[in-house]
């Protein structure tokens, strides 16, 4: 029973994009490991950029500098 957790920043991933991620990850586990898609769980967590840090700074602040 595979469990995959995808974490992305909350910046407007569409419903369709999330559905593609879920299907793609599920298909990959079926193709590579022979897992049953009916018992494969894919969770997408969307994290606010203020709550995601890289190199000591929040992603919000890093994006302001770009």
Task: Provide the CB-side half-sphere exposure for 39 (13 A, CA).
Answer: 5
Selecting among 2, 8, 60, 62, the annotated active-site residue is 2
Residue 44 and residue 18 in contact, taking contact as beta carbons nearer than 8 Å: yes
DSSP-based three-state secondary structure for 61: helix
- Active site (annotated) includes residue 37: no
Active site residues: 2
């Amino acid at each position: 029973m595979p469990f995959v957790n995808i974490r992305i920043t909350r910046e407007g991933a569409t419903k369709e994009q999330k559905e593609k991620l879920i299907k793609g990850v599920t298909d990959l586990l079926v193709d590579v490991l022979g897992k049953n898609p009916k018992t494969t769980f894919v969770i997408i967590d969307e994290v606010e950029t203020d709550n995601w840090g890289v190199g000591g700074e929040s992603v919000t602040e890093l994006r302001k500098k770009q």
